[in-house]
Structure 1
Amino acid sequence: MSNTPVVSPQWLRENLHNPEVVIVDCRFSLPDPTLGQQQYQVSHIPGACYLDLNEDLSSPVGEHGGRHPLPNADELATKLGKIGITNQKSFVVAYDDSRFAFAARLWWLLRYLGHEQVAVLDGGFAGWQQAGYPVTNEIPTPPITQFVPQIQAEKAVDYSYVKNHKDSPEVVLVDSREGDRYRGEREPTDKIAGHIPGAVNYPWPEVTDTAGYLQPTAVQQQRWQHIATAEEILVYCGSGVTACVNLISLEVAGIKTGKLYVGSWSDWITYDENDISRQSV
């Protein structure tokens, strides 16, 4: 099995019938939350099961925690077992059609639950189709297995941790959103525009090219060269989803210090006004 966080369509095609490979379709649309499920039912990679960002990869929204809070670990583990994922055994390949945006969330969640054998599909569903590989509308019935979570708590941080550590000289806080959202010039989703004071901007779309293929390793390393030696890199976005694409980038670059602020900006702005008084520049 590959140890890289990203696998090629060719690799997946060669392993399509490997019983230890589990494929998960993570396509999703924030403006239309039902679109991903509909696309999956029409056409998907053979053998792939579907996991929904809102229903499966997040828990219900509360007062705090952002727009996509962490799912309950036991409930997610049960769902993972129902689609045939066995911890420490299955090799999971997650894909979407959004330049890793949603597949990366599952990639990170599985690692958070102690399952390292997971990758995202380079080029996503479109890349698979462009390669001429097979698709189907058949819904699989995988054997039910048991997934036992072994939570790696150090991979995630919360509001208090970010507030108390972001100004430390050993810590770098990374905002993964596009530059105009970081600068507070545009905010299509959250009630307040801007960024967490002290954050630097590394937009997540830079991790891939416009077709959704991972930029070369050298490019990933160059992206992070100015902060590569930080003891901790705390990464956030709007709601803890696209930040995971930057965590993949860090992994490809060989940097192991990245942690996810799960609630991200949508959580940060629900707290004390003083903490967002310099939200824009």
Structure 2
Amino acid sequence: MSKVFIDLKDFGAKNVRYIDTRFELGNGDAGRVMYEAGHLEGAIYWDLEKDLSDMQSIYGRHPMISKDKMTNLVEQAGLLVDDSIVIYDQGGSPFALRAYFLLEWAGFSNIHVLREGYEEAKNVLPVSDLVPNYPHTNVTLNWKDEQYIDIETVKKIVAGEIEAQLIDARSAIRYRGENEPIDAVAGHIPTALNFDWEQLKQNGMFLKQDALKEKLSGLTDLTKPVIAYCGSGVTAAPLYGSLKEAGYDNVKLYVGSYSDWIREHEVETSL
């Protein structure tokens, strides 16, 4: 069973590389401002839209980045594939888990998301407003392409050509098509189940592993491939990580998500 999240009390600060991913949807500069005002000592900053998404792509609102961009991001941060890495955001947010997914895709294995987030961590760990400068590295990444699902694979799942369960991480009213505040078309990808990612957290942090297992283990077959998606691929990342933590053996992420699907394909509603 994967251990995606880590608690403050469960790791030592020595020999850990921190990645700060704080961000605010709709206010693209907020995360960098927060980081420059103070961050865990030694942390680098990765921005959801400048670093962790390809905002020039047409394939959704926060599309997948290329292997070249991910390699450059890792090397500029001075990371090595065997580094012990702890990623954090505000707490109970999707941004650290987006970075987690991308690092896992790139072959990193000693990576965790801090369950409590920065607001709790700053009371326990050293903080600084200094931006560290790590020597660039030269890495060969071991890509796990099977974790990333593109629209062609989703089409085959919907058509019944591939056995897998799509799970929509958006709110129930968006899934059902009752209200759609962002995308041009309301509804969900055909055959998808719904599980609102907001149920995965409480008091600004993600639930413990036992609680995640209780909430998620009955959602579908634990051994069946499951694919998390949302509106733009961002809030699907917490569902992706929580499914892994809850004991699902084969979890994947459709980064393009609903905003990519509706460019050319029909949807379902539950009205």
TM-score computed with the length of structure 2 as normaliser:
0.92
Using the TM superposition, give the Cα deviation of residue 31 of structure 1 relative to its aligned residue in structure 2, in angstroms.
0.8
What residue is the counterpart of 2:207 in the other structure? 215
User: Separation in 2 of the partners of 1:98 and 1:7?
Assistant: 12
Q: Does residue 79 of structure 1 match 2:59?
A: no
Letter in structure 1 aligned against 2:246: A
What residue is the counterpart of 2:189 in the other structure? 196
User: Separation in 1 of the partners of 2:125 and 2:170?
Assistant: 33
Q: 1:151 aligns with which of 139, 143, 165?
A: 143
Q: Does residue 124 of structure 1 match 2:117?
A: yes
User: Separation in 1 of the partners of 2:217 and 2:77?
Assistant: 36
The alpha-carbon distance between structure 1 residues 132 and 91, as it changes in their structure 2 partners (threshold 3 A), is closer
User: Separation in 2 of the partners of 1:167 and 1:201?
Assistant: 19
User: Separation in 1 of the partners of 2:93 and 2:133?
Assistant: 25
What SS class does the counterpart of residue 155 from structure 2 fall into? helix
What SS class does the counterpart of residue 249 from structure 1 fall into? helix
Using the TM superposition, give the Cα deviation of residue 46 of structure 1 relative to its aligned residue in structure 2, in angstroms.
0.7
Equivalences for 1:21-100 in 2 at 5 Å?
21-63=16-58, 65-87=59-81, 89-100=82-93
User: Separation in 1 of the partners of 2:38 and 2:49?
Assistant: 21
What residue is the counterpart of 1:103 in the other structure? 96
Using the TM superposition, give the Cα deviation of residue 38 of structure 1 relative to its aligned residue in structure 2, in angstroms.
0.8
> Which residues of structure 2 form unaligned runs of 5+?
none
User: Separation in 2 of the partners of 1:118 and 1:166?
Assistant: 32
Q: Does residue 265 of structure 1 match 2:242?
A: no
What residue is the counterpart of 1:135 in the other structure? 127
User: Separation in 1 of the partners of 2:165 and 2:178?
Assistant: 23
What SS class does the counterpart of residue 112 from structure 2 fall into? strand
Using the TM superposition, give the Cα deviation of residue 189 of structure 1 relative to its aligned residue in structure 2, in angstroms.
2.3
Q: 2:186–2:269: 8 Å Cα contact kept in structure 1?
A: yes
Letter in structure 1 aligned against 2:67: A
Deviations 1:103-155 (A, max 9, x none): 000100011111111111111111213x4433221111122222322221111
What SS class does the counterpart of residue 167 from structure 2 fall into? strand
What SS class does the counterpart of residue 39 from structure 2 fall into? coil
What SS class does the counterpart of residue 202 from structure 2 fall into? coil
Q: 1:240 aligns with which of 233, 242, 266?
A: 233
What SS class does the counterpart of residue 51 from structure 2 fall into? coil
Q: 1:167–1:198: 8 Å Cα contact kept in structure 2?
A: no
- Percent of matched pairs sharing the same residue: 32
Q: 2:222–2:249: 8 Å Cα contact kept in structure 1?
A: no
Q: 1:61–1:67: 8 Å Cα contact kept in structure 2?
A: no
TM-score computed with the length of structure 1 as normaliser:
0.89
User: Separation in 1 of the partners of 2:56 and 2:175?
Assistant: 23
Using the TM superposition, give the Cα deviation of residue 98 of structure 1 relative to its aligned residue in structure 2, in angstroms.
4.7
What residue is the counterpart of 1:256 in the other structure? 249
What residue is the counterpart of 2:4 in the other structure? 5
User: Separation in 1 of the partners of 2:179 and 2:207?
Assistant: 27
User: Separation in 1 of the partners of 2:35 and 2:72?
Assistant: 21
User: Separation in 1 of the partners of 2:195 and 2:56?
Assistant: 26
Q: 2:91–2:116: 8 Å Cα contact kept in structure 1?
A: no
Deviations 1:244-280 (A, max 9, x none): 11111111112121111110001011113xx22x345
CA RMSD of aligned residues (A): 1.9
Letter in structure 2 aligned against 1:256: D
Q: 2:17–2:83: 8 Å Cα contact kept in structure 1?
A: yes
User: Separation in 2 of the partners of 1:238 and 1:198?
Assistant: 16
Letter in structure 2 aligned against 1:33: G
Q: 1:184–1:195: 8 Å Cα contact kept in structure 2?
A: yes
Q: 1:61–1:68: 8 Å Cα contact kept in structure 2?
A: no
User: Separation in 2 of the partners of 1:245 and 1:192?
Assistant: 24
What SS class does the counterpart of residue 127 from structure 2 fall into? coil
Aligned residues: 268
